[in-house]
Structure 1
Amino acid sequence: MFFADVQLVTPSFRTLPPKRVETTIGRTNRTDIPIPYGAANCAPDRLPELRPATVVAHVATGTEQPRKVVFTVPHPDPLLTRLLREECSQYLVERVATIEFGPRWTEAGEVMRTTLVVTRRGAGEVALGDLGGTTHYNVGLERRPLGVLPADRQRMEVPVELTPARCDGHAFGEAKKAFMFPARASLDGGEERVVIVTPPKPVQDRLIRYAQRACGLGGG
């Protein structure tokens, strides 16, 4: 069977144009085909329930022309459920406050220091529970939970220390999750939600050079 394109269709995510794959599937029990998906359709005040999804594809067998086929995704799909929950959890927090690294980064020996900054955008109390490390960097904090931004305050800063989590030479190549730090925050005493905090590209480059020096790998 020849797949010409695939497309995920569900009310829970924005529908993207079909992705061309031009892949021939042989007689196998399973073949994975990556499918892009759009931004989650989030509610302003709650986590939405996952809606049913289908995969729309144009397929052909033998020498025939591709025809449209719709595959029903078993509902509720655990991967789509997790993706929707993660994206909408971050959306709910970011409606009230931004969580980001501060602009100042200082290197002290084998430690890189900065701050985590919470800045108000809307009404409500924001409690910052934790900031986790990544595949490449450990996070040191003075305390956990990190603190609370009361409803009458506009800004809160928390000291943060980073150290390399690994020092092998392959650690400093392409790594998509090296700079995706998970922060846990809650609104008005509710459930903790995860917000991914990512430093800007110039800081990422600086962190790689710092980690190379801290690991004794001769980074400049």
Structure 2
Amino acid sequence: MVVVLTGCGSPGRPAEPSSRPPYGVSVSLAQWRSDEPAHAIEVAVRNTTDTPVHFTDVQLISPSFKTLPPESKDSTIGRTERTDLRIPFGEANCSPRGLPEVRPATVAARVRVGSEPPRRVVFPVPHPDPLLARLLRDECSAFLVKQAADIAFGPDWKRDGDLMRGTLVLTRRGAGRVAVGSVDGTTHYIVTPARRARPLVVLEAGAARAEAPIALSPGRCDPHAFAEAKKAFLFPVRASVDGGEERVVIVQPPAERQKELIDYALEVCGLKK
């Protein structure tokens, strides 16, 4: 009698394909200026072999950020020191108790190597990744301030000569005294507060709303600037809660206000047709 010993798997079932990255292919993470408003990053692929690798989807996975569905791609990458694949990434997982430490991350992708069948692979990301650490810190810093108050531009803006005058508004959300130390300009606009002292405005613990008058003016007037206005409307506001560390909240006007501000700047700069 012949006894055949088999494993626990189902007879005839092919082995699961390896999730190890293809030989000679690695990834790192980067972010261009144009990625910031879109909440996106670049998966920078390096292929040191002559075998092309086709990517059909890419996904960032980390406990520090909400996991989004894989981003579809149709990219064949041959030998290269760096080829970028742009993907969105999820919101940071923040805590009201303070700033968290960045957690390890991987990049999952469905790839086809040469003539092989497609398979799912997982690329390691060296830990701690400096880009993810910065993104987590920035988003969670803003989160901590926003637990106490919303910070936004007011709805009413008026042209005054070469200036556009409006307000920065703080609206109560939770407990705490919120103080705004400064409102910084952007690549395209200079911010001039009406009040020169610090803090610019304070939402006292018992108040529901506070506002500070500010004025905007064009920071540059070359035509190329308005064609490349990637970060023109990402205004850094430095604020603290209950006298704690100042943290940066990015305040962005709504799309219709952005259009008005572009038209205003083009007119002031003498570029409006």
Worse-superposed segment, 151-160 or 126-135 = 151-160
Deviation for aligned residue 1:176: 2.9
Q: Aligned to 1:34, what secondary structure does the other structure show? A: strand
**Identity percentage of aligned residues:** 62
Query: Equivalents in 2 of 1:126, 1:94: separation in Å?
Result: 10
Question: Amino acid of the residue matched to residue 72 of structure 1?
Answer: P
Counterparts of residues 47-196 of structure 1 (less than 5 Å): 47-141=99-193, 142-145=195-198, 146-173=200-227, 175-196=229-250
How does the TM-score come out when normalised to structure 1?
Answer: 0.94
Q: Decide whether the 8 Å contact of 1:93 with 1:193 is kept in 2.
A: yes
Q: 1:212 Cα deviation (Å)?
A: 1.3
The separation in 1 between residues aligned to 2:181 and 2:96, in whole angstroms, is 22
**How far 1:203 moved relative to its partner?**
1.4
Inter-partner Cα distance in structure 2 for 1:78 and 1:36? 18
Q: Which has the larger Rg?
A: 2
- Structure 1, 33-42 or 112-121: larger mean CA deviation: 33-42
Q: For 1:36 and 1:217, locate their aligned partners in 2 and report how far apart those are by CA, in whole Å.
A: 34
- Give the drift of 1:97: 0.3
Partners in 2 of 1:60 and 1:212 — Cα distance?
A: 49
Report deviation, 1:174: 5.3
- How far the C-alpha of 1:144 sits from its partner, in A, is 4.0
Q: Is 1:8–1:15's contact at 8 Å kept on the other side of the alignment?
A: yes
Tell me if 1:15 matches 2:91. Answer: no
Would you say 1:199 and 2:246 are equivalent positions?
A: no
Aligned residues: 219
Supply the AA of the counterpart residue of 2:151.
I
Shift in Å at residue 106 of structure 1? 1.0
Q: 1:29 aligns with which of 55, 64, 81?
A: 81
Contact in 2 for aligned 1:132/1:139 (Cα 8 Å): yes
Cα RMSD (Å) of the superposition?
Answer: 1.4
CA shift for structure 1 position 40: 1.0
Q: Which amino acid aligns with 2:104?
A: P
Match of 1:42 among 71, 91, 94: 94
SS in 2 for 1:39: coil
Q: Distance in 1 between matches of 2:225 and 2:81?
A: 35
Deviates most, 73-82 or 17-26: 17-26
